[in-house]
Structure 1
Amino acid sequence: MSTLLLVPGGLWEEMDAERFWRRPGVVAALQRRGFDVRTAERPHRAPSWASEADHLAAALPRHPVTVLAGSNGCSAAVRLALQRPDRVERLLLAWPATAGDDDIDARLRPALAALGATAEVLAALLGGRPLRGSHDSELATLTQPVGVLPAVPDNAVHKRRTVDALLRILPQATELPGCPEAPRPEFPPHLDRFADAVADYIRR
């Protein structure tokens, strides 16, 4: 039985696996499709993506897993795959959050600073492109198969250009059918299609 580790989105906000994956029905839908589904909790207000990866590594079972991450959780998942390549057999990046956008970062910087983020922490969290916390040259070293699920329709936080950049940088990446992000109220009608796309990709 394949093991999936689900990593929720969020960036220094009140978001967890319950709200991101369980309440929308994703965990149950994937379990019905025969997977051993586990959820990870990201550390509260981590100072860097590397520290997030260290935290996630502690939640990994002894055998390699598929990591399904959403939104900003994609940055943590990619960093985990870079730091622990032997533990992550494939990546699924759902609705990857757009990095390097001046308008988005202009809103995030004061919000994160108000929560206690120092200039050093802000640089660590917001730096990188096309994903926060990693650059093209690092992404190109990933050897795992990568599935990318775009936000459809895209929006200010999850832009199509981020998906296009990932597909360009990662020759082993495959675009899967997109849909609204799981925590959004528009997601429920897309649940089965989303779960089928994930299951079909893993079983290839």
Structure 2
Amino acid sequence: MTGPPAPAAGPAEPDDPTVVAVERDASGRHLARELSPGAFLAPRPLLPCADRLRIALVGTRAGLLAGDDLRLHVSVGPGARLELIEPSGLVAYDHRGGRSAWRARIDIAAGGRLDWDGKPFVVAHGARVDRTMEVTLAAGARMLLRDTLVLGRSGERGGHVRARTRAVYDGRELLVEDLDLTDPEIRELPGVLGPNRIIGS
């Protein structure tokens, strides 16, 4: 069950982050404390579940272009559970020499849980993307994430991407990953990716 709707927001500015903040009240109800659309994604509540809040991240632009900076801030309160749904994947198009960024910041309080079944992130030929995810989990917090990175659309070799992920659990580093796929010659070597273009985790 969701709480009262948040006040209507004006048009998002180019650098506005998408904000999703959920909490659980004393009676055990899950409430959306903040659902703010950003420049690229708009959070939309889905039909309620008894044990969680389900929020769709709906794209409001046709992918990432040169100069774009997509930012997403997600917070889950103590004991709350959030499920993020992506109706479609995201494509970073040919940047024609420019760059773009995709940055997510996730904060999960004690006993909170985030389930995020992410759709494919496609890096088209000519794109150059910096992708960063920072996750902070309190003691007893949990996060289940599916992440799929696709290098190129059909028939393409794929653009340049560097994906960094850092997760901290109860003040200690849990995962630190720096995936540098900016050089096609190196990433296509045997023992790296070879001829493969899809990375799932």
TM-score when scaled to structure 2? 0.36
- Structure with the higher strand share, 1 or 2: 2
Q: Radius of gyration: which is bigger?
A: 2
- Structure with the higher helix share, 1 or 2: 1
